[in-house]
Amino acid sequence: MSAPAVDLRQITKQFPGVLANDEVDLTVERGSVHALLGENGAGKTTLMNVLYGLYRPTGGTVVIDGEPRTFDSPRDAIDAGIGMIHQHFMLVEPMTVTQNIVLGNEPQKWGGLAVDRERAREAVAELADRYGFDVDPTATVEDLSVGEQQRIEILKALYRGADVLILDEPTAVLTPQEVEELFGVFDELTEAGKTIIFISHKLSEVTTAADAVTVLRDGKDVGTVDADSVTDTELAELMVGREVLFDTDKPPVELGDIGLATRDLVVEDDRGVRAVDGVDLQVAEGEVFGIAGVDGNGQSELVDALTGMATPAAGQVFLGNEDVTHAPRRQRIDDGMAYVPEDRQARGLVMSYDLTENGLLGSQRDPQFASSGRIRWDDAETHADDIIEEYDVRPADADAAAHSLSGGNQQKFIVGREFARDPDAVVASHPTRGVDVGSVEFIHDQLLGLREEGTAVLLVSSKLDEVRGLSDRLGVMHDGELVDVVDPEEITEEELGLLMAGERPPDVPKATRRVGGEAQ
């Protein structure tokens, strides 16, 4: 019997004040797909950074193909056949696919005086063909979809000779269709003898794509199970150490006045093309209004116009009875709007700031934290500590820089900061993206708590179970238009999918809740 492709034995990684990995064992069989599952901050990425040579372990042994190895850098890991595709891609967007894949390892001609571009293109085309990737070697990376860019990252690792591929949260920014395509890529790679380790917190994905699942909790491995024989409930309990409730308890509430609305809203994208085309919507106080749709159908531009991140080309935006169409972001915060952005790093945080500073974003002038033009930092730190405790942000350190947190913990901190504003209206765009199952449950409870308090909540999500479970009414966007508003409890997933694709199935159940005195 051949040795495992990867055998991590008693791996410990200690940072100042944080024990990230505590004597973790991980055995990955050759030619398999092995999932590493755990809550945000459980130590998954740290463990893989040890395997990839980004961190030296404090203790333990890394064994590759039966041979103990010591990696001083990623270069050593790459030489040993280990490749890693990070959650945030490492591509140079203005360059071509070929240039990105061969970067640093370009074939040479004329005695090393020039890059042999033709041979590079041929090598990339041959590599893509070998693994069944539909890739244009001459395409510019910035023109590709996220899913296509991810395949370029995989090809880049394969070009460097990777036999073991590590993917960190590979589905975090993919559409459902791209997720399905990625799992097809996994099949192609394992059939070619490659080994895949992927980090995840999504139960359904690991049971679909993996052969085996190792669960980490609080830096320790709590078990490895066969993906085909374990249930989502069992995995969730292994992850969080308690029973997790998957069903959403959504009690009826009395609707108030209109809290957030648009009228004939038109928003253009960066190319001057209508991304939002004449959208009318009303979100009542005490209502969760969901927006479903395939990514790229105007949801992001709609959110930008609602929150003051973009100026509409036409139409109006209302916060309560106030026309805020041209109001700046700061005024909307002061008027009671909270915003959970789609891109947490670009729009939710200043990555170099610590959590105390990030907790103040948008509230620098609030009397709760400032007086006479000076910030009271003790109060700001207490505020950050409260968010950290309530939302279980790890590490629990208000002095930690945002970039030092995992993506899921960054997301939890943003959600906590925005919900702590005691808002009248919330625009939540993919609020649980990159968040583990226990934290998803908590954030859902917080959203429904705001609903019960009479807050108007607009929820945009690519997770159909999330928008269907939380929403009172569900709007479907396609090609920039709000094509229908339906009852999320009555519509089937098949009917919803047809609407999202721009088709209209017969007898779709309409939403009939009364909003502002009018049936919608």
Euclidean distance between CA atoms 384 and 46, whole angstroms: 25
Whether pLDDT at 514 is above 50: no
What's the confidence (pLDDT) of residue 246?
Answer: 65
Alpha carbon of residue 433 to chain centroid: 4
Convert the pLDDT of each residue in 10-62 to its tens digit: 999 999 888 999 999 999 999 999 999 998 888 999 999 999 999 999 999 99
Q: What is the DSSP letter of 509?
A: P
Convert the pLDDT of each residue in 236-252 to its tens digit: 899 888 877 666 778 88
**With contact defined as beta carbons under 8 Å apart, do 13 and 55 qualify?**
yes
Euclidean distance between CA atoms 450 and 60, whole angstroms: 47
Q: How far is CA 206 from CA 34, 49, 234, 508, in A?
A: 8, 20, 13, 33
Tokens matching residue 5 = 């492709």
Tokens matching residue 62 = 């890394």
Whether pLDDT at 421 is above 70: yes
Euclidean distance between CA atoms 508 and 487, whole angstroms: 9
Assign 512 a pLDDT band (cuts: 50, 70, 90).
low
The listed range with the strongest mean pLDDT (165-169, 197-201, 456-460, 512-516) is 456-460
What would the mean pLDDT of 441-462 be, rounded to a whole number? 93
Domains of the chain: 6-240 (3.40.50.300), 246-336+424-520 (3.40.50.300), 353-422 (no CATH)
For residue 274, list its beta bridge partners. 268
What's the confidence (pLDDT) of residue 197?
Answer: 98
Whether pLDDT at 515 is above 70: no
Name the residue with tokens 């009875």.
321
For residue 323, list its beta bridge partners. 318
Euclidean distance between CA atoms 353 and 331, whole angstroms: 23
Convert the pLDDT of each residue in 301-331 to its tens digit: 999 999 999 999 999 999 999 999 999 999 9
Convert the pLDDT of each residue in 459-498 to its tens digit: 999 888 899 999 999 999 999 999 999 999 898 888 888 8
Euclidean distance between CA atoms 39 and 438, whole angstroms: 7
What would the mean pLDDT of 135-141 be, rounded to a whole number? 92
The DSSP result for 418-484, as a single string, is HHTT--SEEEEESTTTT--HHHHHHHHHHHHHHHHTT-EEEEE-S-HHHHHHH-SEEEEEETTEEEE
What's the confidence (pLDDT) of residue 516?
Answer: 47
**With contact defined as beta carbons under 8 Å apart, do 490 and 507 qualify?**
no
Convert the pLDDT of each residue in 330-383 to its tens digit: 999 999 999 999 889 989 999 999 999 999 999 998 999 999 889 999 999 999
